[in-house]
Amino acid sequence: MLSVQNLTCARGGVPVLAGVSFDVDVGKALILRGPNGVGKTTLLRTLAGLQPAVYGAAHYPEDEGAYASHADGIKTALTVIENLKFWADVHGAPLPENILDTFDLTDLRDRLGGTLSAGQKRRLGLARLGVIGRKVLFLDEPTVSLDGFSVKLFADWLQNTHLAAGGVAVVATHIDLGLDAPELDLTPFKAADDTGGGSDEAFL
Amino acid sequence: MIALLLRDLRLAIRAGGGFGLGLAFFLIVVVLVPFGVGPETELLSRIAPGILWVASLLAALLSLDRIFALDYEDGSLALLATSPLPLEGAAMVKALAHWITTGLPLTLAAPALGFLLSLAPEAYAYLLISLLIGTPALSMIGTFGAALTVGLRRGGLLLSLLVLPLYVPTLIFGAEAVRRGADGLDPTGALMLMAGITAGSFALLPFATAAVLRINLR
């Protein structure tokens, strides 16, 4: 479902990863590993289409990709349910009935986004992935500031709801999510300093 | 698109949304002018069209930097960019939301403030019409400026410097229409030109705004 071929991506005009290739089948996940600064976020942003690839391409069904990072897009002046409803409406998807239960947000339903703790915000941000109905998820450190229980909650949702329904996920993480998924270490793909292309990117 | 419009309006009227700020600013500027130039009604009524237009332009400017900055900071903008909603549409909706929360209240309040400046009675209708036609252009041009400066620290001042020159044509034709109305002349020409600016900016600037946002999101 997701096929990446010989992808080179750059940050601030400097190529950071080169020649990345992998395939992810329907219902499977891929865990990205690598030290800080190796280019996990850059790769995920490139895959999600937020920045252009220097070379190569990623193929997945159009309008099926979704990106999630530490910035959850939560509006502090809207309640939990209003935040979720907004993203469901933007994506033209119905709000799943059990979504609040799945991410343990039922008690917080009418709380304002601004009054949530960091971990609760994170759960709300992840619940967004459950309402937008996208098949190909690009997750950048989804478990930051989650406690052990919530990590398990999220891993369960990813495995038993998203992947089981034929979704795909590429997850950059430093912890063990307990998913049955192959891992890809990005260190060997680190771009050499003389990799050309995109040198004028920084000025655009 | 409706969802985005409703969300932006809801955010504007909730605490910290800044709704009414522009309106209060407009009110204060217009009230200050008679203190500054003195109470001669003749002088006031002659400069009233220009004062009202300049004040509403500055009031619209006041809330421009919030259009994209907040969505950029909390990550919503990147999420919107990957949503099925085209960024061009999002840009247009943002401009529309800004107009509803700023331009429309200004337009409705302007006649009352025209009274404070002893605006000529014949000019009230034209003041209302010219603001109604002209303020959407202010919002759309401002949205483009906000997209240019999104992500910059202290982008607000740069935004004003970029946007104010672009407001000049709207200001000239807007104030001219009211002045001609006050003098009993035919203001149709000025109104038509201003309508042209508004239509043109709504036709072209959403595309420019979306292109600029895509670059700024990289």
The answer to whether the Cβ–Cβ distance between B16 and A63 falls below 8 Å is no
Supply the mean pLDDT for chain B.
91
Name residues whose C-beta falls within 8 Å of residue A97's C-beta, 6 or more positions apart in sequence: none
- What is the SS3 assignment for A95-116? CCCCHHHHCCCHHHCCCEHHHC
Task: Report residue A203's pLDDT band, with 50, 70 and 90 as the boundaries.
Answer: low
Query: Cβ–Cβ of B82/A72 closer than 8 Å?
Result: no
Is the pLDDT confidence value at A201 over 60? no
CA angle A63, A50, B145 (to 5 degrees): 115
B3 min Cα distance to partner chain A (Å): 6
List, in sequence order, every residue forming a beta bridge with A79; answer none if it has no partner: A112
Name the DSSP letter for residue A163.
I
A68-82, A143-157, B142-156, B166-180 — most confident range: B166-180
Look at the block and give the residue holding tokens 């672009």: B166
Nearest CA in chain B to A134: B83
Q: For residues B107 and B164, what is the distance between their CA atoms, to the nearest angstrom?
A: 19
Residues on A contacting B at a C-beta cutoff of 8 Å: 48-52, 63, 65-78, 82, 86-87, 89-92, 128, 132, 204
Give residue B37's Cα distance to chain centre: 26
pLDDT score for A72 = 86
Tell whether B4 is within 8 A of chain A (Cβ). yes
pLDDT tens by residue, B95-129: 999 999 999 999 999 999 998 898 999 899 999 99
Q: Is A36 exposed, middle or buried (0-12, 13-18, 19+ CB in 10 A)?
A: exposed
Q: Are residues A90 and B10, on separate chains, in Cβ contact within 8 Å?
A: no
Name the residue type at position B167: Y
Please say if the pLDDT value at position A50 is more than 60.
Answer: yes
B218 or A125: which leads in pLDDT: A125
d(CA A116, nearest CA chain B) in Å? 14
Q: Does B7 touch chain A (CB under 8 A)?
A: yes
Q: How many CB pairs under 8 A join A and B?
A: 71
Among chain A residues, the shortest Cα distance to B90 is held by A90
The verdict on ipTM greater than 0.95 is: no
- Chain B residue numbers touching A51 (CB-CB < 8 A): 217-218
- Within a 10 A sphere around the Cβ of A203, how many other Cβ atoms? 6
- Contact assignment for B14 to A77 by CB distance below 8 Å: yes
Whether residue B89 lies within 8 A of chain A, CB to CB, comes out as no
